[in-house]
Structure 1
Amino acid sequence: MVNKRSHPQSVLITGATGGIGRALAVAYAQPGVRLVLQGRNADILAGVQQACEQVGAVVETVVFDLKDAEGWRQWLLAYCAQQPLDLVVVNAGVNINHGPDNAGEQWEQVQQLLAVNVSAVFATVHGVLPMMRARGQGQIALLSSLAAHRGLAVTPSYSASKAAVKVYGEGMRDWLAPQGIQVNVIMPGYVTSPMCEAMPGPKPFLWAAPKAAAHIKKRLAKNTPRISFPFPLNFGTWGLSVLHPSVSAWILRRLDYDG
């Protein structure tokens, strides 16, 4: 019997056109695996599909704007009623900052960020959960960030959205574990991608996307509750969360993360 966690046969990945999303799609692509890949850019998504099909995976693509969280939840409910999923990687996300003139985050952009980074994440879980609970098995991986440990002045809304995902995932893991469903929170540091390149501030211990995907896949197979990397950045950001705010703020200023 195939171990669904170590060798998932059906995998959904949101944000499959981004750095980590694409790398995860390629990492899970192999003969006998069905991939469902969501993205907004049809051309980029087609390229990811082709790369995965070349190694034998069966690939379905979904061009969908996740700002329509309710529409996405309804799509998932209908899809899962016909095709069960073993692993769902909720990876899609966006980032904003104060802008080159330090004018501050724009309200419209904040709303769009929360729609994708929070509402769509919760909607994805609620879209696939009825199917998984009925089967008594399944795995959901939520992409948070090391920025969830301590709000950064350069990206406050992004930090807050990823903190919400982290806390939500931890709570859902504890609730769903007795029901046979694993929930994992993934907290990357800096990983090569257009979104990472657009972020202001230093980017220490930068990982290539394929390296990050291989690490995530390995840890998901072991059902690691919190997959944070790289060391020592993960330890350092966790340390900032337990220090007095004035002390952590002083450290962040010294490291040029003061916005």
Structure 2
Amino acid sequence: MAAGEITLSIASTSGAQRCVLITGATGAIGGALAKAYANQHTHLVLHGRQQEALLALADTCREQGAQVTTASVNLTDEAALAQWLHALCAEHLPDIVIANAGKNTHPQVSGSLEPWDDVQALLDINLKTPIAMAQHLVPAMQARGSGQLVFISSLAGWHGLPSTPTYSASKAGIKAYGEGLRGLLAPHGIGVTVIMPGYVTSPMCNAMPGPKPFEWPPERAAKVIKRAIDANRARISFPFPLNFGTWWLAVLPAGVSQWLIKRLGFDHIDHSGGG
């Protein structure tokens, strides 16, 4: 199979009541969301780069009654992404698109900037790819008169953290984009939901420096996210205690917020946890 080729795992979508596309499906939140949506009324389009994990997830979702299509196209390759989404729209335009694929990076030592190659790769997948997906999917959704886009931000989008400045910037950017897009697309019957999770147990979370208060298992996060999507919420942020605190960081004077961040230990670079 050529690199980036789409793997089709389903012959027909007849009888499926809705089509749900999830990128980053082999990640903790993506996998939990796939299982949460998997039932006999849903056709799942699962994207992931970890082939073995993707195929295992697809089998699990089929056991729950879902029809499943898998894909491993390089999302940061603009031509490959456009080709994949064009083919997808021609066959089964998704009703819900969850742009979940993402990554993190952080300074290697205190006071150093993040490696530039890492910065570019992070911005490509966290910010540029979800926007590019909207560019390709929205016209088809507008023509149909329905659809829902879901963007994964983070509580780090409320105020940038010294331990993960580029990640914070990407999550603030996709938050603002999703909020703006919601108003733009509402008259066309297209919903937009921005998700702002706190710490959710995953390899990426484990690699992040600093404390991780109120960490949730991915299954709990998926349940809350799905409920917000089903209700077409504009934005959902969790868990409450951490969200309340990080929201205040965006409201308070910047000098006060940065003092609090330092006192709470979120400016600390520590790689002992595997980062």
TM-score (norm 1): 0.94
Q: How is 1:15-26 mapped onto 2 (pairs within 5 angstroms)?
A: 15-26=24-35
Q: Distance in 1 between matches of 2:17 and 2:208?
A: 33
Post-superposition CA distance 1:87-126 (Å, at most 9, x none): 0001110000112576431000101001101111111111
Q: Which moved more, 1:212-221 or 1:7-16?
A: 7-16
Q: Distance in 2 between matches of 1:211 and 1:8?
A: 25
Shift of 1:70: 4.0
Q: How is 1:158-169 mapped onto 2 (pairs within 5 angstroms)?
A: 158-169=167-178
Instruction: Check if 1:240 corresponds to 2:240.
Output: no
Q: How is 1:142-221 mapped onto 2 (pairs within 5 angstroms)?
A: 142-221=151-230
Q: How is 1:1-259 mapped onto 2 (pairs within 5 angstroms)?
A: 9-99=18-108, 103-259=112-268
Q: Distance in 1 between matches of 2:17 and 2:222?
A: 15
Q: Find the residue that maps to 1:23 and give its secondary structure.
A: helix
Q: Find the residue that maps to 1:235 and give its secondary structure.
A: helix
Q: Distance in 1 between matches of 2:252 and 2:110?
A: 30
Post-superposition CA distance 1:66-105 (Å, at most 9, x none): 2213421331122102212110001110000112576431
Post-superposition CA distance 1:155-198 (Å, at most 9, x none): 00000001110000000000001110000000000001111111
- Give unmatched runs, 5+ long, in structure 2: 1-15, 269-275
Amino acid at match of 1:202: P
Task: Report if the CA contact (8 A) 1:27-1:214 is conserved.
Answer: yes
Task: Report if the CA contact (8 A) 2:44-2:67 is conserved.
Answer: yes
What value does the CA root-mean-square deviation take over the aligned residues?
1.4
- Give unmatched runs, 5+ long, in structure 1: 1-6
Q: Find the residue that maps to 1:174 and give its secondary structure.
A: helix
Q: Distance in 1 between matches of 2:203 and 2:68?
A: 24
Shift of 1:43: 1.0
Amino acid at match of 1:190: Y
Q: Distance in 2 between matches of 1:129 and 1:76?
A: 11
Task: Report if the CA contact (8 A) 1:189-1:233 is conserved.
Answer: yes
Q: Distance in 2 between matches of 1:153 and 1:23?
A: 29
Q: Distance in 2 between matches of 1:133 and 1:65?
A: 26
Shift of 1:8: 6.3
Task: Report if the CA contact (8 A) 1:34-1:58 is conserved.
Answer: yes
Amino acid at match of 2:158: H
- Aligned residue number for residue 4 of structure 1: none
Higher relative contact order (CA 8 A, sep 6+): 1
Q: Distance in 2 between matches of 1:62 and 1:193?
A: 22
Shift of 1:32: 2.6
TM-score (norm 2): 0.89
Identity %: 51
Post-superposition CA distance 1:30-88 (Å, at most 9, x none): 01310000111111111111111111111111012222134213311221022121100
Q: Distance in 1 between matches of 2:105 and 2:50?
A: 19
